[in-house]
Amino acid sequence: MDFEYTEEQRLLRESLDRLLGDSYPFDKRKAYLAAPEGYSPAMWTQYAELGLLGLPFAEEHGGFGGTAVDVMIVMEAFGRVLALEPYLATVVLAGAALKHAGSAAQNEAIVPQIADGSLRLAVAHGERQARYDLNDVVTTAKKTPGGWRLDGAKSVVVHGDTADKLIVSARVSGDRFDPAGVGLFLVDARASGVARRNYKMRDETAAADIALSDVEVLATDALGDPERGLAAMQRVTEAGIMATCAEAVGSMETMLAMTLEYMKTRVQFGKAIGENQALQHRATEMMMSLEQGRSLAMLAAIMVDDGDADQRMRDLSTAKVGVGQAARFVSQNAVQLHGGIGMTEEYAVGHYFRRCMVIEHSFGDTGYHLSKLAAQVG
């Protein structure tokens, strides 16, 4: 048992904090948001130079062979500054799909382009009717002489607006809820028949709804066995849970630090508001929630590549529930303890609040995962 970072992980954390400390103060972030991409392409290049974009990929495919704990460190750092770049979409989610479904040839072709920052991906799985159910897929893939033809619609595809390629799930057989018969397909985002409706989510993360009509996909662009893509989607979801748990921990850290700073400086009734016991206790409870959440984010990082599927899924659901509840508590109270200023668009705390809100409603919310855990109580 060991909760220490390795020397390399310490260096990774330090260099990230240095880079983001310089490049991601809140006012610069506003400028990145206003860019056409909704994030900073220059930062993306810097992440590539730092080796972050190839971090979790196997060395034989052109990555750096990093671990989930390395990704946790990156996502925590991103969470602390609300980084906008499509790291989750490209490296974590699409990366997990490539790792768990892609062939060696597909990985060898794509990973180097991810690592050098020239290729952005997004995973297009969710559908309007599906809520959080992974198996609820009605988008279809029909066999053609040269490969597959995709029809359907995908909703809330994170960073789907700027992605160069999409990993699209589609049903090749079975009925709407059948866990078998769902395939994953690599689709050029500019291919004929792909229509993107771009928008921002509530936290200003870019996303898109994507309509697919008669989209032709080469047989060589199916990732893995098209009858068994859902298992890989499960792993994609788990990777997303792990990464966003870490991101939420980073966001909670910043919210707590901002709140404590505010409590020490905001004077009412002739004294700092932090001298009030009711508020001191609330802040203590925020710290406790953050630390309990951090413990579960660590659990997620340590378990996400574990071979015991039942235990892994249980632990990832556990982390999702615990971190979701912690983040909700910390962010709601961060706004509350800031009072009026916490409600303003101009001030950062509300942005962290909204990021945590979006995270909680990604990859299955608290209630969804608690129900899954409850079903297994025995």
Partner 1 sequence: MDLRFSADEIAFRDELRAFIRDNLPADIRDKMRLGYGAEKEDTIRWQRILNKKNWAAYSWPKEWGGPGWTPVQRMMFLEENQMSNAPDMQVFNVTMIGPVLIQFGTDEQKKRFLPRAANVDDWWCQGFSEPGAGSDLAALKTAAKRVGDEYIVNGQKIWTSTAHMADWCFLLARTNPDAPKRQEGISFLLIDMKTPGITVRPIISIDGTHHLNEVFFDDVKVPVSMRVGPENKGWDVAKFLLGNERTGIARVGRSKERVKTAKEKAREVMQNGRPLIDDPEFRRRVAQFEVDIKALDITQLRVVSAHDKARDGKPDPLTSVLKIKGTELLQSTTEMVMDVGGPLSMPDWAQELAALSNEPELGPAWATETTRSYLMLRAASIYGGTNEIMKNIVSKAVLGL
- Contact residues for partner 1 (CB under 8 A)? 1-5, 9, 69, 260, 263-264, 274-275, 277, 279-281, 283-285, 287-288, 291-293, 295-296, 298-299, 301-303, 315, 318, 321-322, 370-371, 373-378
With beta carbons less than 8 A apart as the criterion, state whether 137 and 180 touch: no
Nearest approach, Cβ of 77 to partner 1 (angstroms)? Answer: 16
Nearer to partner 1, 110 or 303 (CB): 303
CB of residue 324 vs partner 1: minimum separation in angstroms? 10
Closer residue to partner 1, CB minimum distance, 196 or 282: 282
Alpha-carbon distances, residue 184 vs 119, 142, 171, 180, 232 (angstroms):
18, 13, 9, 12, 9
**145/269 with CB nearer partner 1:** 269
CB of 114 to partner 1, least distance (A): 25
Judging by DSSP bridges, how do beta strands 121-124 and 165-171 pair with one another?
parallel
CB of 326 to partner 1, least distance (A): 8
Whether 189 and 164 have beta carbons less than 8 Å apart is answered as: yes
CB nearer to partner 1: give 25 or 367. Answer: 367
* Calpha distance 15→76 (Å, rounded): 13
- CB-nearer residue toward partner 1: 170 or 370: 370
Kindly tell me which of 3 and 269 has the beta carbon lying closer to partner 1: 3
Q: What are the helix (H) ranges across 272-308?
A: 277-303
Structure tokens at 368: 């969804």
Min separation Cβ 78 and partner 1, Å: 19
Separation CA 173–CA 107 (nearest Å): 26
State the nearest-atom distance from the C-beta of 213 to partner 1, in Å.
41
| First-last CA distance in the chain | 28
Write down the least CB distance from residue 133 to partner 1, Å.
18
Q: Which of 185, 177, 62, 73 is nearest to 125 (CA)?
A: 185
Taking alpha carbons only, the member of 116, 188, 187, 125 closest to residue 153 is 125
**CB of 29 or CB of 369, closer to partner 1:** 369
Q: SS in 3 state form for 77-139? A: HHHHHCCCCCHHHHHHHHHHHHHHHCCHHHHHHHHHHHHCCCCCEEEECCCCCCCCCCCCCCC
